[in-house]
Structure 1
Amino acid sequence: MEFNYADLFEGVADAIGDRTALVCGDVRLTYAELDAHATRLAHHLAGAGVEAGQHVAVQLYNGIEYAATLLAALKIRAVPINVNYRYVEAELRYLYTDSDSVALVYDTEFEERVAAVLPETPKVRHFIAVGGTPAIDGAVRYEDAVAGGSDVRDFGPRSATDRYIIYTGGTTGMPKGVMWESEQMLLAFWNPTFPRPAKPEDVVEQARTNGPIIMMPVAPLMHGAAQMATFIAWWMGATVVYARRFDAAEVWRTIEREKVNSLTITGDAMAIPMAEELAKGGYDTSSLFAYVSTGAIFTGTVRERIQELLPNAMVLDRFGSTESGSTAEAVSGSAPEKGLRFAPDVADVTVLDDALRPVEPGSGVIGQVARSGHIASGYYNDPEKSARTFPEVDGRRWLLTGDIATVEADGSIAVFGRGSQAINTGGEKVFPEEVEAVLKGHPDVYDAVVTGLPDERWGSRVAAVVQPAEGVTPDPADLDAHCRKELSGYKVPRAYAFVPEMKRSPAGKADYRWAKEIATNAV
């Protein structure tokens, strides 16, 4: 056995085969059943000519099929490629091409878009359709692909260096494929409350001896946070529960029905509607003991609201990225509107200054959050970006996360925001996340995204795109007064654009290009 995701899952399935591994709606599979299901699908992919190292695109909503496709690809040492199910034709054309995918597993709901780009993406040669009879020539129904495959594990040996790729959706450009080696990814995303495994068998033993718990990744599986949350749960011997698509009421119904113990969300975009739905009452949440946010901004006012509604649960804010893994946890009192402060889980997380030297704690020097050790190996098909993001200093390889921060005297990391989104107004830097968090603390604001607009005098000025709370029309003067109580004057928005619905990724990340266009057209 290697530190290889397919090896480890097969080991866990052998150890706790009768335990429920996966639930989605009315479908339930034990570890043994899911392993056999994925094995049959793996044989189908191999029979269709998918070879080790080749890429299998996955364009699905959450479900058994998504999890099984991940495992099936890994079993034959192929690489699963996550596809954002909201992508339109131009974006699909880019992703199919950039990822060099040779096979596609897709929901038939997306078939019209898929078919439209196939003439320009000839490398994609095999298709498996979920949810109905496909119209694409040569496509195979998912059920037929699984039924026709052998459930015998006669695969060749695998490696701890086998590749895994997660495409991370950019807020300012096209997504890039973050490349991981299997062992490095396992350790980077390891649950910090458990001891790190010294050998692969330790992972299996942990799953076997850990008491059965029920965990729910709420985010879509096309987001790396949900994929990693799924594997983390399996390494704990847990039952993973999915909702096919995010709907706050359905999430709470699922938590009540399945007696979920721990759930993972991605920031305010999920937490706000979940809080609103939970406040209506009628849901039994007594089983829930952990409510964890990761991968997106989780503002203090929203977190406090969740805690009020779930007084017996731990409400946690985790810090990390697709490239770094899970690295830190917010300290008490941390919030974007008051100052984000995180305590690192591992010793190889720090802040590097402009000369790529560690910042002295308490010095006040500003730099970038960086991690060494267990980090991604680079970006697929982009050696220049890989070199910029993963520099080597004195023989030590670092990941520069792009998060601007300093190190406090107590060793905690104070994060100000993403450097790529910072607004320079009159020589002062404004980090959108801080202003967004303050705006969302106003009762008339449901959601907000802050961007910069050109300004002849100041270079840039701060502008806010706001989705009002239901049934209200915010007064810009009132929002201005609210912001001035919490922010320096140069950080306060000079212009507002009000929209009926905010555009965000399925994982809740802001679309800053869209926000800038909306704000520009509103002034």
Structure 2
Amino acid sequence: MHYSTLPDNRAARDPDGHAISDGRHWLTNVTLLERVQAAAGQLHGLGIGPGDVVALELRNRPEFVVLLFAAWRIGATVTPVNPALTPTEVDRQLADSDARLLVVDGDAAPAIVPTLHVSDIAHEPVDPGPKPHSDQSAIALLIYTSGTTGTPKGVMLDHANLDAMTAMGEAALEMTATDRSLLILPLFHVNGIVVSVLTPLRAGGSVVIADRFNPRTFFATIESVRPTFFSAVPTIYSMLAALPDEVKPDTSSVRFAVCGAAPASAELLARFENRYGFPLLEGYGLSEGTCGSTINPVSGVRKAGTVGIPFPGQELRILDPDGNEVAQGENGDVVVRGPNVMRGYLGRADDTAAVIVNGWLRTGDVGHLDADGYLSLVGRSKEMIIRGGENIYPKEIEDVLAGEPAVLEAAVIGVPDPTWGEIVVAYVQPRPGSTIDLQQLEERCATHLSKYKRPKTIHVLDALPKNAVGKIDKKALRGTRMPSGQPA
């Protein structure tokens, strides 16, 4: 399947069937096709063509999906932009991706490329526009994720990746045309695009794009739009599980929910399922693998505390540092292989070669397999912090902190938090003879970092602990109990 023609196929098969909704109004399959044709013609008229990159800095809304299909129809690539990024971070992504156009829905700061407001997107096609492109090797998505160096990298996912991943998801989740997704995760994440939008649309189902998640109104939305599934992160399930006992919603439409992006405790999964009456399927994946690598099955044994078994069509191994498979139950590096593995990092051949070896994607995570092939994750070889499903890499924050003249060195770690999973905590060492102004340091973070990346607490130490080779010892920092700190 090529997603440039999915709207055409749906319109031909079921013209008046529901496709996309904002929770208030539906786009039928025919209306979706017309909107896609109109937007594609408009993009084409602006000089956007095959291989060009269109950046979407949009909140969750139907226009995001329309523009996805419109760009793919004319052979263009889409790079989703987190609306919470600072102007500096946005420009960095636009420059790295060589974007030709930025579409926004708010009062965005001036960008380094031409900008189009979403309200100016055409709704009615003047003509059918160019014939839909069908090259499976064309790059469909550029998903930006930070690396261990702190520099964001563009994950290149082609149409063959999307085709493979959504086929795997359709099979593993037993999805049919009767399914309806409730999208609550951000569309700048590959999870939101692949699991909550493309997979149900591929299966002939429909998608409701919800307003920003609010635990107090979430179940009212469930009762109103009657989804059969949704995907979320453990933080959301923790918030819902903590609602007052008198909250007893009608969840009879929901077949299952997917839990991913960060580890969830077996206790949380059991507590949630027992209360609300539908299963949580914990899964695991990463952008470089087009979202998903393992998941607990809809039908069959679900093992709480594991992230399930590989999606059909994928292989998974656990390797020792020498690249040899370890024995069952032993911890090692998790590697995966399949047609869902990315094409590589944009413009970063060395980084690509470091993580894709003989077709196997080195995930950077550590885990083990049980006798039934279920994967348990025990840690991350990278230092990534996951706050509420958002991936945060310490190096980027450390570089910002170290840019303050009074700071000699900085170290950032993740600290467990019952709500967010992890929060960011920073340690800084002053330069000799200098005094660190914490308020000034916080202001610097606010200027250079998105809100979710900013340290919750900044501690000033006379000296940061070092290991035998002179590197900052973060293990020692994690074991340190600080009597005081500056909340950010």
Which category describes the TM-score, using the shorter chain as reference length?
A: 0.7 to 0.9
Question: In structure 2, what is the equivalent of residue 273 of structure 1?
Answer: 239
Matches of 1:343 and 1:323, distance apart in 2? 18
1:377 corresponds to 2:343: yes
Give the TM-score of the pair, scaled to structure 2: 0.76
Count of matched residue positions in the alignment of Structure 1 and Structure 2: 412
Matches of 1:279 and 1:62, distance apart in 2? 30
1:129 corresponds to 2:117: yes
Select which of 267, 278, 285 maps to 1:320.
Answer: 285
SS in 1 for 2:157: strand
Select which of 102, 105, 109 maps to 1:104.
Answer: 102
Matches of 1:222 and 1:379, distance apart in 2? 17
Question: In structure 2, what is the equivalent of residue 261 of structure 1?
Answer: 228
Please say if residues 349 and 372 of structure 1, whose CA atoms lie closer than 8 Å, have aligned partners that are also in contact. Answer: no
Select which of 132, 137, 140 maps to 1:164.
Answer: 140
Cα pair distance change 1:7/1:211, threshold 3 Å: closer
**Which is worse superposed, 218-227 or 11-20?**
11-20
Question: In structure 2, what is the equivalent of residue 233 of structure 1?
Answer: 200
Question: In structure 2, what is the equivalent of residue 485 of structure 1?
Answer: none
Cα pair distance change 1:317/1:398, threshold 3 Å: same
Equivalent residue letter for 1:411: G
Cα pair distance change 1:234/1:62, threshold 3 Å: same
Please show how residues 57-456 of structure 1 align to structure 2 within 5 Å. Answer: 57-109=55-107, 111=108, 113=109, 115=110, 118=111, 121=112, 124-125=113-114, 127-130=115-118, 141-142=120-121, 145-147=122-124, 149-150=125-126, 152=128, 154-170=130-146, 173-192=150-169, 194=171, 210-229=176-195, 230-265=197-232, 267-277=233-243, 279-281=245-247, 283-311=249-277, 313-325=278-290, 326-330=292-296, 332-335=302-305, 340=306, 342-346=308-312, 347-362=314-329, 364=330, 366-392=332-358, 397-421=359-383, 436=416, 440=418, 448-449=422-423, 454-455=464-465
Question: In structure 2, what is the equivalent of residue 460 of structure 1?
Answer: 474
Question: In structure 2, what is the equivalent of residue 46 of structure 1?
Answer: 44
Please report how far the alpha carbon of residue 36 of structure 1 lies from its aligned counterpart in structure 2 after TM superposition.
0.9
Please say if residues 81 and 188 of structure 2, whose CA atoms lie closer than 8 Å, have aligned partners that are also in contact. Answer: yes
Cα pair distance change 1:212/1:48, threshold 3 Å: same
Question: In structure 2, what is the equivalent of residue 4 of structure 1?
Answer: 2
Please say if residues 450 and 462 of structure 1, whose CA atoms lie closer than 8 Å, have aligned partners that are also in contact. Answer: no
Please report how far the alpha carbon of residue 250 of structure 1 lies from its aligned counterpart in structure 2 after TM superposition.
3.6
Cα pair distance change 1:146/1:317, threshold 3 Å: same
Tell me the alpha carbon deviations over residues 45-95 of structure 1, each in whole angstroms, 9 at most, x when there is no partner: 000100111000001111111110111100101011100010011101111
Please report how far the alpha carbon of residue 178 of structure 1 lies from its aligned counterpart in structure 2 after TM superposition.
1.0
Please say if residues 294 and 310 of structure 2, whose CA atoms lie closer than 8 Å, have aligned partners that are also in contact. Answer: yes
Matches of 1:365 and 1:211, distance apart in 2? 40
Matches of 1:39 and 1:192, distance apart in 2? 27
Cα pair distance change 1:171/1:450, threshold 3 Å: farther
Matches of 2:106 and 2:67, distance apart in 1? 16
Matches of 1:248 and 1:174, distance apart in 2? 34
Matches of 1:272 and 1:195, distance apart in 2? 25
Equivalent residue letter for 2:203: M
Please say if residues 369 and 405 of structure 1, whose CA atoms lie closer than 8 Å, have aligned partners that are also in contact. Answer: no
Please report how far the alpha carbon of residue 191 of structure 1 lies from its aligned counterpart in structure 2 after TM superposition.
4.1
Equivalent residue letter for 1:389: V
What is the aligned-residue identity percentage?
22
**Which is worse superposed, 10-19 or 61-70?**
10-19
Q: For structure 1, which runs of at least 5 residues remain unmatched after alignment?
A: 132-140, 197-205, 424-431, 465-492, 499-518
Matches of 2:281 and 2:482, distance apart in 1? 32
Equivalent residue letter for 2:362: L
Please report how far the alpha carbon of residue 256 of structure 1 lies from its aligned counterpart in structure 2 after TM superposition.
1.2
Cα pair distance change 1:157/1:106, threshold 3 Å: closer
Please show how residues 501-516 of structure 1 align to structure 2 within 5 Å. Answer: none
Matches of 1:171 and 1:249, distance apart in 2? 35
Cα pair distance change 1:497/1:236, threshold 3 Å: farther
Matches of 2:64 and 2:327, distance apart in 1? 45
Please say if residues 257 and 279 of structure 2, whose CA atoms lie closer than 8 Å, have aligned partners that are also in contact. Answer: yes
Please report how far the alpha carbon of residue 11 of structure 1 lies from its aligned counterpart in structure 2 after TM superposition.
1.5
Q: For structure 2, which runs of at least 5 residues remain unmatched after alignment?
A: 386-412, 428-463
SS in 2 for 1:58: strand
Cα pair distance change 1:155/1:446, threshold 3 Å: closer
Please report how far the alpha carbon of residue 404 of structure 1 lies from its aligned counterpart in structure 2 after TM superposition.
1.3
Please report how far the alpha carbon of residue 214 of structure 1 lies from its aligned counterpart in structure 2 after TM superposition.
1.6
Greater percentage in helix? 1
Tell me the alpha carbon deviations over residues 209-268 of structure 1, each in whole angstroms, 9 at most, x when there is no partner: x44222112101111101002000101111101113222234322211111111111x22
- The root-mean-square deviation of aligned C-alpha atoms, in Å, is 3.0
Equivalent residue letter for 2:218: V
Please report how far the alpha carbon of residue 104 of structure 1 lies from its aligned counterpart in structure 2 after TM superposition.
1.2
